[in-house]
Amino acid sequence: MSNTIAYQGVEGAYSHLACKNRFSDMEAKPFPTFEDALISVEKGESKLAMIPIENTTAGRVEEFYRLIPKMSLKVVGEHFEKINHCLIVNRDADFKTIKDVYSHPQALAQCHDNIISRGLKPVVNFDTAGSVKELAKSGSLESGAIASSLSAELYNLKILEENFQDHDGNTTRFIILGKESSEHSFDKNRRYLTSIIFNLKNIPSALYKSLGGFATNSINIVKIESYTPIGKLQVSQFHIDVETHTDERRFELTIDELKFFADEVKVIGCFERDSIRDENSL
């Protein structure tokens, strides 16, 4: 297996930056879509994949949740990347010439107030760094792009304004996925997260009852997301992250209770909790 970590986007994307910062000894390889990046790992062409899952300003990354039901990979870790959005333009452009700004919907949402206050028109594009690449190719003086400083460097463009995001502390949480679980035996001196997905049974108070076992067994839920799987309008699927290890007896008891109220309960990863959660109260 190659020492490659896959990500969605083009060179200079925030996912590329996250790969470089977390796995400096691995080759970061871009793919057009999240699914392509995951398939690369499933086929053994890449060792890992770095996928953004949520942002402190703009919320969850919807594209990933569409892939969860059919995902065969395991979550083997998490990584938090502080996002410094830059307003990037061609060398001869400035605030007097630019009229619109291109980027991924997440980046546009995270910079919404600054975009409007500058009198610019936000234009949705598929990718942050991809927007910079297209801008460099066009040579336009009327357009800008929101992306990382790395992308400005790679495509030889000018940063018109750094820290263009609306709020300080803007951070994206990435999950790291692999073909094989990174799970190790429980160590009481370490802190773990376990990711679980499940479908609720069609019974009264199903959600309330399904979460009761976590409270009874003193397991803290740090994340809960609900979504509707494609083609299943009557099904509510949940993704939760809980502070426990799968080897712990309390986890076994909780899962046994959960199965009374939920179908298709699946553990998609057990991994060590990122210490940045303690430093930043995440």
4 membership: H or E segment, kind and range? strand 4-8
**Pick the catalytic residue: 80, 174, 214, 251?**
174
* 260 carries an active-site annotation: no
Is residue 174 annotated as a catalytic residue, yes or no? yes
Taking each helix axis from N to C end, the angle separating 206-216 and 249-258, rounded to the nearest 10 degrees, works out to 170
Q: How far is CA 131 from CA 150, 156, 166, 267, in A?
A: 13, 13, 20, 36
- 167 near 57, Cβ under 8 Å? yes
CB 117 within 8 A of CB 176: no
Q: Which of 57, 128, 172, 194 is catalytic?
A: 172
CA atoms 230, 233, 234, 237: torsion sign: positive
Q: Give the active site residues.
A: 172, 174
